[in-house]
Amino acid sequence: MNEFSEIAFMETPLIDASGFMELLLRFVLNMGVVLAIIRFFYYPKSRRRDYFFTFTLISISIFLMIFLLGSVKLKIGFALGLFAIFGIIRYRTESMPVREMTYLFVIIAISVINALSVELSYAELVATNLLFVVCIWLCESNRWLKHISCKLVKYDRIELIIPQRRQELIEDLEKRTGLSVTKVEIGHIDFLRDAAILKVYYEPVSDEINTIDSLTRIPREGE
């Protein structure tokens, strides 16, 4: 094997056995952790196949680029610069929600660590990846953090928005929406049209993320 690994074609080795095995081991470890995070933590709540696709390919691209360019003494500044590049990503059709941006940042961090940490033992590397998984599990678990969603509602009964009738307001919203309302914030009030914009916080009936909850304002007519 050593003799075969020393055979070169145009001064480039045909195969570096130790380097090839290290690439495979680190790639398998990285993909195992990344796919576990995406499939078991992110996807069950969001059901966004487009982001599943994006996160997976970004992880593969970042890992291979950094691992392979490490042979030319890749500077750590370039690796950290990837965080800045992807940290300001905005798609033309819609801005990336905070949850997706967080997962993107985590996926990039894991890929960078698995590609650059050549001086760490495999035990330390596995422990680092497990820490990521455990921390994400704790943050996503409803046992530790209760998920509360919110919606913007254009409300017509403005006589109920006064503080003295707050309970009546909540009961009316629950009756008309079927949601378990926990909190209501009063926004814009239009006395000419007898309408107000409310931000309604409620307990969701399922763990799935409702993407429309990220709407920060009600579009005007014609938008």
Question: What is the number of domains present in the chain?
Answer: 2
Choice between 137 and 80, residue whose per-residue pLDDT is larger = 137
Q: Are residues 23 and 126 in the same domain?
A: yes
pTM: 0.68
Residue scoring higher pLDDT (18 or 1): 18
Least confident of 13-17, 177-181, 195-199, 212-216: 212-216
Tens of pLDDT along 30-69?
999 999 999 999 988 888 888 899 899 989 988 888 887 7
Q: Tell me, yes or no, whether 135 and 165 share the same domain.
A: no
Q: Are residues 134 and 88 in the same domain?
A: yes
Which pLDDT value is given to residue 93? 47
Provide the domain limits for residue 59.
Answer: 15-139
Q: Are 162 and 92 contained in the same domain? A: no
At 148 the pLDDT is 78
Mean pLDDT of all residues belonging to the chain: 79
| Count of CB atoms situated within 10 Å of the CB of 28 | 10
pLDDT band at 8 (very low <50, low <70, confident <90, very high): low
Claim to verify: residue 97 and residue 175 sit in the same structural domain: no
- For residue 159, tell me if it sits in a domain: yes
Domain finish residue from 121, 139, 157: 139
| Mean pLDDT, rounded, for 157-185 | 91
Are 55 and 96 in a shared domain?
yes
For 79-109, write each residue's pLDDT tens digit.
Answer: 556 655 555 555 444 567 778 888 988 998 8
Residue 35, in any domain of the structure: yes
Same domain? 22 vs 124: yes
Last-in-domain residue among 139, 161, 191: 139
Is 168 contained in some domain? Answer: yes
Same domain membership, residue 120 and residue 152: no
